[in-house]
């Protein structure tokens, strides 16, 4: 093995022996790409013509007026093609897949955003594509499943374990240990064995690079704080990495507080005290597990944050204090989202709305001369069913019932 990839005491590569040469090959390809300025250039070119980079930094005067305090800027990752920051990582790994000469990609997905992004990339590059998705997530994110299948991907519902994101990751690994010769596993977040945490963060660093330039341009100085939601941690790593060398910028990661404290009620590995250090899915980090090391159930209104582990890089930034971690509950998340929709006409995904909750709690205490950035990592179109249920929209319900009647008649 070339490199063990540790961030303080977190990370590593706890992989089955059969994958050792595959990881060596991947690490080599990644190192070559990083050392080749033409690769990053090709990547930025692709993202600016196929997706929507640079994504804007939107100043939100109405929200700023509502809370008083610092000026609120929102980084618009929702404007990426396929509606989330996931495209950044996926297109980058797509270019690497081409370099390695592989013809098939597989991915896990929680909310379905990473699955849709991977299916899109596969369609564009001409790869075969299989997406593993927990059965529960298939149920709550049907619109994304619809698009993945339209784009030619095979979506396999995972019925093992707790039938969510972590189980989809296990299943993707089981595919990979069989098909590594022609297949690349496009892991969707800054987790997993080395080099994934570093590699995914590198592709996502495009967010922070742009945001830093944009805020200096718009506001004339660095922001006071930057907020991002944290599931696996890739959008947070993307935004935060732009400010790692700016100690005056406080970085705030917001996890899924679900229904509040207590194992099984949430997916907060760092903000709450329920997690402990362990090794699963090929890496060492804080996991929500029991004394024996068995992974426990998690809960969040947002499928994309409903994950038992967290990026080992963020775990080290938690322990050294560079990033502060908070949690937002399901209820707070829906409220923050509704407020943002109403005041600014922006539609942050339920995942992204976690970052909004914490920013809204604190922004009023900051100086009006200061600014904050919130990462709107994705858009909420995919969440329409979940949000409609949460806000109990009677007209939506009528619409769905009428639609169902219509299908029933044809059946």
Q: Nearer Cβ to another protein, position 25 or 42?
A: 25
Intra-chain end-to-end CA distance of the chain, in Å: 56
Closest CB 201 distance from another protein, rounded Å: 21
**Least distance CB 200 / another protein (angstroms):** 19
DSSP class of residue 52 equals: -
Rounded Cα gap, residues 264 and 315, in angstroms: 20
Q: How far is the CB of 298 from another protein (least distance, A)?
A: 12
Which residue lies nearer to another protein by CB, 62 or 178?
178
- Measured between alpha carbons, how far is 91 from 342 in angstroms, rounded to an integer? 33
CB of 22 vs another protein, minimal distance in Å: 8
Q: Is 85 in the active site?
A: yes
Burial class of residue 185, CB neighbours in 10 A (0-12, 13-18, 19+)? buried
> Which has the closest alpha carbon to 78: 361, 389, 341?
341
Three-state SS at 66: helix
Catalytic residue among 52, 66, 81, 85: 85
Q: Which is nearer to another protein, 17 or 245 (CB)?
A: 17
Which residue, 186 or 387, is less far from another protein as judged by CB? 186
Q: Which residues bind another protein (CB under 8 A)?
A: 1, 4, 12-18, 20-22, 160-161, 166, 170, 173-174, 177-180, 276, 278-282, 289, 291-295
Calculate the CA dihedral of residues 66, 73, 317, 161 and round it to 10 degrees.
Answer: 80
Query: Minimum Å distance from CB 297 to another protein?
Result: 10
Instruction: Report d(CA 156, CA 237) in Å as an integer.
Output: 29
**In the numeric block, which tokens belong to residue 52?**
């929507």
Q: Rounded to 5 degrees, what angle do the CA atoms 343, 348, 354 make?
A: 105
Q: Which entry of 52, 60, 318, 410 is annotated as an active-site residue?
A: 60
Q: Does the annotation count 60 as an active-site position?
A: yes
Among residues 181 and 245, whose Cβ is nearest to another protein? 181
Active site residues: 60, 85
């Amino acid at each position: 093995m070339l490199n063990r990839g540790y961030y303080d005491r977190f990370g590593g590569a706890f992989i089955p022996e059969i994958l050792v040469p595959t990881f060596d090959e991947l690490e080599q390809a990644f190192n070559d790409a990083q050392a080749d300025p033409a690769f990053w250039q090709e990547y930025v070119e692709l993202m600016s013509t196929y997706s929507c980079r640079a994504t804007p930094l939107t100043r939100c005067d109405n929200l700023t007026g509502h809370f008083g305090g610092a000026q609120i800027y929102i980084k618009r990752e929702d404007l990426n093609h396929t509606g989330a920051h996931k495209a950044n990582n996926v297109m980058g790994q797509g270019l690497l897949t081409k370099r390695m000469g592989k013809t098939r990609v597989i991915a896990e997905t929680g909310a379905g955003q990473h699955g849709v992004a991977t299916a899109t990339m596969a369609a564009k590059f001409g790869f075969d594509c299989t997406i593993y998705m927990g059965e529960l997530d298939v149920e709550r994110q049907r619109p994304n499943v619809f698009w993945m299948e339209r784009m030619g991907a095979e979506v396999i519902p995972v019925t093992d374990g707790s039938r969510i994101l972590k189980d989809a990751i296990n299943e993707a690994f089981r595919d990979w240990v069989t098909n590594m010769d022609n297949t690349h596993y496009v892991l969707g977040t800054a987790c997993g064995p080395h080099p994934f945490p570093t590699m995914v963060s590198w592709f996502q660093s495009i967010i922070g690079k742009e945001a830093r330039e944009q805020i200096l341009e718009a506001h004339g100085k660095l922001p006071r704080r930057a907020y991002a939601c944290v599931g696996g941690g890739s959008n947070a790593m993307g935004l935060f990495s732009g400010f790692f060398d700016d100690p005056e910028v406080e970085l705030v990661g917001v996890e899924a507080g679900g229904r509040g404290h207590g194992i099984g009620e949430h997916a907060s590995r760092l903000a709450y005290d329920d997690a402990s250090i362990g090794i699963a899915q090929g890496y060492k980090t804080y996991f929500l597990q029991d004394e024996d090391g068995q992974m426990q159930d998690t809960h969040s209104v947002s499928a994309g944050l409903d994950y038992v582990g967290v990026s080992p890089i963020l775990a080290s930034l938690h322990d050294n204090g560079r990033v502060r971690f908070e949690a937002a509950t399901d209820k707070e998340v829906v409220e923050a989202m509704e407020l943002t929709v109403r005041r600014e006409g922006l539609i942050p995904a339920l995942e992204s709305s976690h970052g909004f909750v914490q920013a809204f709690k604190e922004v009023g205490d900051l100086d009006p001369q200061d600014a904050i950035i919130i990462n709107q990592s994705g858009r909420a179109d995919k969440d329409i069913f979940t949000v409609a249920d949460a806000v109990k929209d009677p007209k939506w319900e009528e619409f769905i019932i009428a639609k169902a009647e219509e299908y029933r008649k044809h059946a």
